[in-house]
């Protein structure tokens, strides 16, 4: 066999010749979102190499032959952040011709939801950071979205701004009918915290009374009986998410 097997992704990109193998290669990118202090944040990584040197990207990498797409997304997230057992869902597959200037790469995008507590440990490793998601207009998404770091807006590298915009749009839509808000909170949380998460994601206020009624009527919350403490107002009750398997 003439061609040696590329040992790294970098090697692969150097030896790749579209004339020999005229098919696109396949990567996975993950928009890992969290809510912290009423702001929606995303995990980004600073590139150290050309192209887009010193620009920020979403964590990602190539799909291996011996893993499914879900497994690839989980593997990459674990490799870049150390986090395991994260809520992860396929988002959309991006295939623009020029989305990677080196070669034709199609990317299966995922989004992940993690509560902030789990991210405290790894935050600000210089290259890996949490950036605020800057949704341009009052709710108009679908297009490109910027991130905010050090009081400045930045465009993400490649088409990752578009991926991020799609992720925000998706979770906004899902919030209505799927219990995804819980993924962004600790195990025990108050209704006010849950409402804050919804308001942050939707970037608008929601009606308090109606929100409480809907959540309690959904039968997905379980009252713990325990109360907040240390707050200088009436303490709220803690709830937990009742998993669907318990129904």
Among residues 143, 135, 73, the alpha carbon closest in space to that of 107 is found at 73
* 12 lines the binding site for a second copy (CB under 8 A): yes
Tell the smallest beta-carbon distance from residue 146 to DNA (Å). 29
73 near 86, Cβ under 8 Å?
no
Instruction: Name which position in 8, 17, 138, 245 contacts a second copy (CB under 8 A).
Output: 17
* 178 lines the binding site for DNA (CB under 7 A): no
Give the range of 43-51, 52-60, 102-110, 184-192 binding a second copy by CB under 8 A.
102-110
* 92 lines the binding site for a second copy (CB under 8 A): yes
Tell the smallest beta-carbon distance from residue 8 to a second copy (Å). 11
Beta bridge mates, 197: none
Query: What part of residues 45-84 is at the interface with a second copy (CB under 8 A)?
Result: 62-70, 72
d(CA 161, CA 85): 25
* 204 lines the binding site for DNA (CB under 7 A): no
Judged by beta carbon distances under 5 to 8 A according to partner kind, the member of a second copy, DNA, none in contact with residue 39 is none
Q: Which is nearer to a second copy, 24 or 118 (CB)?
A: 24
Q: Which is nearer to a second copy, 7 or 48 (CB)?
A: 7
Binding mask 208-227 for DNA (x = CB under 7 A): -xxxxxx------------x
Name 190's Cβ contacts closer than 8 Å, sequence gap at least 6: 228, 236, 237, 238, 239
Among residues 199, 201, 41, the alpha carbon closest in space to that of 133 is found at 41
Q: Residue 28: phi, psi to the nearest 5?
A: -125, 135
* 38 lines the binding site for a second copy (CB under 8 A): no
* 190 lines the binding site for DNA (CB under 7 A): yes
Judged by beta carbon distances under 5 to 8 A according to partner kind, the member of DNA, a second copy, none in contact with residue 229 is DNA
DSSP string, 137-179: SSS--SS--EEEETTEEEPPSTTHHHHHHHHHHHHHHHTTTS-
**What radius of gyration do the chain's Cα atoms show?**
20
Chain residues in the site for DNA (CB under 7 A): 190-192, 206-207, 209-214, 227, 229-237
């Amino acid at each position: 066999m003439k061609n040696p097997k590329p040992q790294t992704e970098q090697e692969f990109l150097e030896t790749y010749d579209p004339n020999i193998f005229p098919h696109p290669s396949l990567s996975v990118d993950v928009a890992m979102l969290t809510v912290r202090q009423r702001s929606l944040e995303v995990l980004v990584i600073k590139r150290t190499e050309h192209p887009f040197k010193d620009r920020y990207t979403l964590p990602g990498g190539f799909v291996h032959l011996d893993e499914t797409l879900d497994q690839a997304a989980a593997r990459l997230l674990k490799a870049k952040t150390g986090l395991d057992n994260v809520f992860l869902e396929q988002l959309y597959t991006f295939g623009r011709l020029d989305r990677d200037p080196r070669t034709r790469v199609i990317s299966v995008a995922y989004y992940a939801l993690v509560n902030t507590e789990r991210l405290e440990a790894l935050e600000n490793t210089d290259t890996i950071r949490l950036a605020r998601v800057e949704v341009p207009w009052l709710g108009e998404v679908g297009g490109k979205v910027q991130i905010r770091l050090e009081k400045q807006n930045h465009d993400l590298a490649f088409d990752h701004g578009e991926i991020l915009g799609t992720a925000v749009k998706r979770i906004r839509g899902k919030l209505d009918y799927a219990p995804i808000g819980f993924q962004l909170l600790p195990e025990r949380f108050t209704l006010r915290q849950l409402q804050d998460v919804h308001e942050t994601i939707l970037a608008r206020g929601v009606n308090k009374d109606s929100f409480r009624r809907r959540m309690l009527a959904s039968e997905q919350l379980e009252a713990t009986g325990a109360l907040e403490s240390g707050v200088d107002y009436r303490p709220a009750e803690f709830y937990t998410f009742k998993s669907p398997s318990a129904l």
